[in-house]
Amino acid sequence: MGRRARSPGLLKREARKKNEREVMSKLNEYLAKAKISSKQVLAASKRIEGLKDEDRAIRLARKQVAGGKPTDAQKELATKKVRSGRKVSNATLEKALAGGTISKQAKRRVARAVSALLTQKKKGEAAVTDLF
């Protein structure tokens, strides 16, 4: 009567755990090499991506341009680009560090945050292809 058969679910979980231990994502290696912690990336993203007063003014100008008779100043404001207002979440960063798949927008947000930290350290900038 020898060994009991293992369930397929158990085998998958064991394989996943083994892969998680072995996988070092490109982002994880880059951050370790640059001596940047994940907390720093989250803080930089919050600072960069957060909406500011100028962004709110631009959104208001866009609504006013669409609504009726805008002034020249409102038209000019409406053409400017607004920040997304969405920072990198902790879950997204953990997924990226583990080597999981994240959206292109999330990759760009992470890259902007890492680049901001690198420019603070006077080490240049990081492209999305360098990190992912």
The predicted pLDDT at position 85 comes to 85
Distances (CA, A) of 121 to 10, 29, 49, 110, 114: 46, 18, 20, 17, 11
Sign of dihedral through CA atoms 95, 100, 128, 28?
positive
pLDDT band at 38 (very low <50, low <70, confident <90, very high): very high
Residue 17 confidence (pLDDT) above 80: no
- pLDDT tens for residues 49-107? 988 899 899 988 988 888 888 888 888 888 888 877 899 999 999 999 999 999 999 99
CA distance 27 to 90: 15
Q: What is the pTM of this model?
A: 0.70
Q: Position of tokens 């880059």?
A: 30
Taking residue 47's Cβ as centre, other Cβ atoms within 10 Å add up to 11
Segment 1-17 shows an average pLDDT of: 64
What is the predicted pLDDT for the residue at 72? 86
How far apart are alpha carbons 92 and 35 in whole angstroms? Answer: 20
